[in-house]
């Protein structure tokens, strides 16, 4: 009998919380509707113009990005090109690869998808064997490695697949989440919930380097293994 009473009390508490939440949402919607109702034609027109201006500005920004090579995953031929590319764009992801490394092909597939989705970021690839100076400066020893560059500075690295679930079968969403953690793309998901099936199993240890310049003085080595 006591158990039944407890269940009833709990049920009533839950129902009351649901009702309170619903009431708050309804009040917020009512307030927004009231604001719209109170607007005169001039105010509505100004609101419309602001939205149109915002859309126009966003479209202009997109065209500017595309003109700088955003929107596609491209290979650059030399280290000199790398410095020019990162100078032109605020956010850059550069994949240091090697032709004989199978995992680089896996990374290529995911980056091709993300380059089209995240036009705000430039996605590049550079043959590590043809860029010894840059690899030495950035202390790149593991292939594949993604250098995440913001405002001409290397903010972070994705070294191998460690941060991607330690598996060759990681999803594009997992890589997208990892880039979002570095704030190198505009990520709309929840950064607190990595898309791993088992977060405990895979872990989320990052190889993060803060405020290091591209021509930087010192970098920490992550691994000596290829």
20 exposed, middle or buried (CB, 10 Å; 0-12, 13-18, 19+)? exposed
Predicted local confidence at residue 216, as pLDDT? 39
The residue that leads in pLDDT, 125 or 11, is 125
Instruction: Give the least confident one: 49-53, 129-133, 157-161, 211-215.
Output: 211-215
Structure-block tokens of residue 43:
């105010």
Asked whether residue 199 carries a pLDDT value surpassing 90, the answer given is no
- Cross-strand partners of 159: 145
To the nearest 10 degrees (0 to 180), the angle between helices 172-181 and 102-117 is 70
| 5 — pLDDT class (breaks 50, 70, 90) | low
Give yes or no for a contact between 95 and 124, defined as CB atoms under 8 angstroms apart: yes
Whole-model pTM: value is: 0.68
CB atoms within 10 A of CB 139: 17
The three-class DSSP label of residue 147 is strand
The residue that leads in pLDDT, 112 or 196, is 112
Nearest CA to 212 among 149, 169, 160?
149
Average pLDDT, stretch 130-152? 96
Average pLDDT, stretch 137-148? 96
């Amino acid at each position: 009998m006591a158990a039944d009473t407890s269940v009833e009390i709990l049920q009533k508490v839950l129902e009351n919380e649901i009702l309170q939440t619903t009431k708050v949402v309804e009040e917020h919607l009512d307030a927004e509707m009231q604001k719209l109702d109170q607007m005169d034609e001039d105010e509505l027109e100004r609101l419309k113009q602001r939205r149109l201006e915002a859309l126009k500005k966003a479209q202009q920004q997109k065209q500017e990005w595309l003109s700088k090579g955003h929107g596609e995953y491209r290979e650059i031929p030399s280290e000199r090109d790398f410095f020019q590319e990162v100078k032109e764009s605020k956010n850059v992801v550069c994949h240091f690869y090697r032709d004989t490394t199978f995992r680089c092909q896996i990374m290529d597939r995911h980056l091709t998808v993300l380059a089209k989705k995240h036009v705000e970021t430039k996605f590049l690839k550079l043959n590590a064997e043809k860029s010894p100076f840059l690899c030495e400066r950035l202390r790149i020893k593991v292939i594949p490695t993604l250098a995440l560059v913001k405002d001409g500075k290397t903010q972070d690295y994705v070294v191998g697949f460690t941060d991607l679930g330690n598996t060759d079968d990681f999803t594009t969403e997992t890589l997208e989440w990892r880039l979002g953690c570095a704030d190198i793309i505009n990520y709309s998901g929840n950064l607190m919930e990595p898309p791993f099936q088992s977060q405990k199993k895979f872990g989320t240890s990052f190889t993060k380097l803060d405020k290091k310049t591209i021509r930087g003085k010192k970098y920490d080595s992550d691994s000596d293994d290829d």
